[in-house]
Amino acid sequence: MIIADYTVEGLKNPVTLGLAQKVIPVFREDLKKSGDIYPAEIEIKTKKGTFRKRVDIPYGHPQRPMTRAAISEKFKDCVSYSVKPLPEKHIQKVVEQVSGLQDVSNVSEIMALMC
């Protein structure tokens, strides 16, 4: 999912709305919370059969962290919706500095790039 999926246009997308009409959420007692994690399972029925996928630890959880590349792409997507657009060179510099945050002597440099 990207932010565009949650814009007014994204929420009115006929393909998305058509698919949403086919979704039937079901509470499963057997999928109990384990600590701070709620597992999830999806079942998709098609003409070719039924497909299931279970996720015990969601992507992005500390036990299943996102890759740096995924974090970078998510940041770039989020910042593209900023009220005050950032220059591409600033976006790339923020990504570089945050990726090597342990070597940044003053985080105000990062904040200045974001303003």
- Report the predicted TM-score, pTM, of the whole model to 2 decimal places: 0.71
Statement to judge: residues 86 and 50 lie in one domain: no
SS3 (DSSP) at 70: helix
CA distances 43 to 40, 46, 54, 56, 67, Å, are 10, 10, 9, 15, 27
pLDDT for residue 38 is more than 90: no
In this prediction, residue 27 carries a pLDDT of 86
More confident residue, 48 or 100: 48
Residues 74 and 110 in one domain: yes
57 and 80 together in one domain: no
Amino acid at residue number 31: L
Whether 53 and 88 share a structural domain: no
pLDDT greater than 80 at residue 5: yes
Residues 83 and 50 reside in one and the same domain: no
When pLDDT is cut at 50, 70 and 90, the band that residue 2 belongs to is: confident
Residue numbers of the domain that contains 45 = 31-65
Between 48 and 35, name the one with better pLDDT: 48
List Cβ neighbours of 2 (8 Å cut-off, separation of 6 or more): 77
Q: Are 90 and 113 in contact (CB under 8 A)?
A: yes
Residues 78 and 55 in one domain: no
Are residues 74 and 56 part of one domain?
no
- Position with higher pLDDT, 35 vs 53: 53
Mean pLDDT rounded to a whole number for the chain: 90
| Long-range contacts formed by 66-70: CB under 8 A, 24+ apart | 68/99
Domain identity same for 109 and 76: yes
Residue 47 lies in a domain: yes
Q: Kindly state the helix (H) or strand (E) to which residue 41 belongs, with its residue range.
A: strand 40-46
User: In this structure, is residue 100 part of a structural domain?
Assistant: yes
Overall number of domains in the chain: 2
- pLDDT for 90 beyond 90: yes
Could you tell me if residue 9 is inside a domain?
no
User: Is 18 domain-assigned?
Assistant: no
Candidates 52, 46, 8; CA nearest to 28 is 52
Helix-helix angle 88-99:68-79, to 10 degrees: 150
- Return the pLDDT at 10: 84
Residues 77 and 53 in one domain: no
